[in-house]
């Protein structure tokens, strides 16, 4: 788990806003239902009952956020996850399909029907179903990466 001070950093405070605003712009509904004003959005996202991940805009994009549900699924610590190239969340045979998905998201802005196999750090495979993947765009339209949220998975 990240240190509480890390989640409260300026980056993660702004990142929570970016995740929520971008999602709502694409989907027409909030990412967090019934958000409490007593809890910072990043903390609500981190403890959400669905998996939420995002990656940046590096040439080989690196995960810059994974909530506790995602960390548990991928069997990684915060420190391990936030240095992992996002392509490594899929087995090598599934990486081409994953790349096509991300290109489709880039063109369309989001998709709400993604299904695919992912792999944990210990080799456990799981099928994600009905994932929403969206571009992270700030209010000026600048691209900051992509995010995915899903609450349906099955271990294979």
pLDDT reported for residue 126 = 96
Each as own residue / partner, the long-range contacts of residues 32-36 (CB below 8 Å, 24 or more positions apart, any chain) are none
Does the pTM of the predicted model rise above 0.75?
yes
Name the residue range of residue 34's domain.
Answer: 4-155
pLDDT reported for residue 1 = 60
Domain count for the chain, please give it.
1
> What does the DSSP 8-state code read for residue 85?
B
pLDDT reported for residue 14 = 93
Q: CA triplet 45, 144, 16: central angle to 5 degrees?
A: 20
pLDDT reported for residue 78 = 94
pLDDT reported for residue 105 = 86
pLDDT reported for residue 37 = 56
Q: Tell the residue number behind the tokens 């392509």, with chain if given.
A: 87
pLDDT reported for residue 38 = 55
Give the contacts of 116 (CB within 8 A, at least 6 positions apart): 90, 94, 97, 98, 101, 127, 128, 131
pLDDT reported for residue 8 = 75
153, 66 Cβ separation under 8 angstroms:
no
DSSP H or E run through 42: helix 41-46
**Residue 111: which CATH number?**
3.30.450.20
pLDDT reported for residue 10 = 87
Residues with pLDDT less than 50, the chain: none
pLDDT reported for residue 5 = 67
Phi, psi of 20 (to 5 degrees): -70, -45
Give the separation between CA 53 and CA 86, rounded to whole angstroms: 9
Q: CA triplet 121, 3, 149: central angle to 5 degrees?
A: 50
Q: How many residues does the chain have?
A: 156
pLDDT reported for residue 7 = 77
pLDDT reported for residue 66 = 97
Encoding tokens for residue 56?
């940046």
Encoding tokens for residue 114?
């993604």
pLDDT reported for residue 4 = 56
């Amino acid at each position: 788990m990240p240190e509480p001070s890390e989640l409260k950093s300026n980056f993660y405070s702004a990142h929570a806003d970016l995740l929520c605003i971008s999602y709502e712009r694409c989907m027409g509904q909030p990412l967090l239902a019934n958000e409490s004003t007593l809890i910072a959005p990043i903390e609500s996202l981190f403890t959400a009952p669905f998996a939420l991940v995002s990656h940046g805009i590096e040439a080989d994009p690196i995960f810059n956020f994974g909530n506790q549900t995602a960390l548990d699924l991928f069997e990684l610590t915060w420190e391990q996850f936030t240095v992992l190239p996002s392509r490594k969340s899929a087995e090598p045979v599934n990486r081409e399909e994953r790349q096509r998905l991300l290109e489709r998201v880039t063109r369309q802005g989001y998709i709400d029907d993604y299904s695919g196999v992912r792999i944990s750090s210990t080799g456990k495979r799981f099928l994600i179903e009905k994932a929403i993947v969206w571009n992270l765009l700030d209010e000026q339209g600048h691209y900051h990466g992509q995010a995915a949220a899903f609450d349906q998975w099955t271990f294979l």
